[in-house]
Amino acid sequence: MLESVQATGRSAASAPASPPSPVERARELGAAGDIAGAAALVRERPDLRGTVEDALLQAGNPGGIGDLADALKQAVEKAIDTVRDVVAKAADAVTAAAAARTGFPNVDAAARAALTEANPQSIRENLEFGGLVYKSPDGTYGYTAPARGTSTGFDPTSVTIPSGTTLVGDFHTHADYSIVDASGNVVRTSDPARDDFNSDQFSTTDLRGIAADAAGKPEYRGYLGTPSGNFRVFDPAANTNTILR
């Protein structure tokens, strides 16, 4: 007698239910009186507020409309407070950074701090950075926030010193060791033996510019940050070009 054999196989799984559309979700939240959920949805889809309110009314919950308005208002106020906190923290950071760039006992100390701040980023981005050094009315010195230049130069006239202070110097960096390729592009090598710019020294243009800017300013000096990590100072009054100690 032959045994009957029952066919086997995997039955097709039932298809998962589709998630409700935003409109359906708005109706569900309104009908359930879920004000928090409804407010979250309306913040993302303001056009669904009317749908939620209609559902609240149909569910016999007219007071929910006021609750929804309050929840949305609180969300806006919270967002505003968050933005204010971010702005305040950013302002505090700017103020702290500015304070850290002042109060130095002499021009060399201010310039050394400026180059210490600017040189690593200059090398990292292979761009020149620079700024100005100034003397405050209380006799201390400070420097402006290092500003980004180009791969081959920095214009100190693009920077201004604080009101009431006296200009006593400028600083700039020489980025990383680089060459100029056949297309005229500056290409980083990070190798002092492959450097078309003599990056560890002031250029002739640098020295002339500093000397011109120092006219009538006996304390004026120019400072340079180099890819070697050394800092240099040019004193036009003494006509000296040395390592900044």
pLDDT in tens, 42-82: 999 999 999 999 999 999 999 999 999 999 999 888 888 88
Buried b (16+ CB within 10 A) or exposed e, 179-191: eeeeeeebebeee
Decide if 125 is inside a domain.
yes
Which tens digit of pLDDT belongs to each residue from 80-105? 888 876 776 666 555 555 656 999 99
Cα(100)–Cα(7) distance, integer angstroms: 82
125/232 same-domain check: yes
Q: What is the pTM of this model?
A: 0.64
200/147 same-domain check: yes
Cα(194)–Cα(171) distance, integer angstroms: 25
Final residue of a domain: which of 99, 131, 155? 99
> Which residues are bridge partners to 104 per DSSP?
141
The two tokens of residue 170 are 């400028």
Contact 211, 187 (CB under 8 A): no
Which tens digit of pLDDT belongs to each residue from 180-205? 999 999 999 999 999 999 999 999 99
Decide if 203 is inside a domain.
yes
Count of C-beta atoms within a 10 Å radius of residue 152: 14
Decide if 204 is inside a domain.
yes
120/27 same-domain check: no
Decide if 5 is inside a domain.
no
Decide if 11 is inside a domain.
no
Task: Tell me which DSSP letter residue 33 carries.
Answer: T
Range of the domain at 149: 105-243
Count of C-beta atoms within a 10 Å radius of residue 162: 12
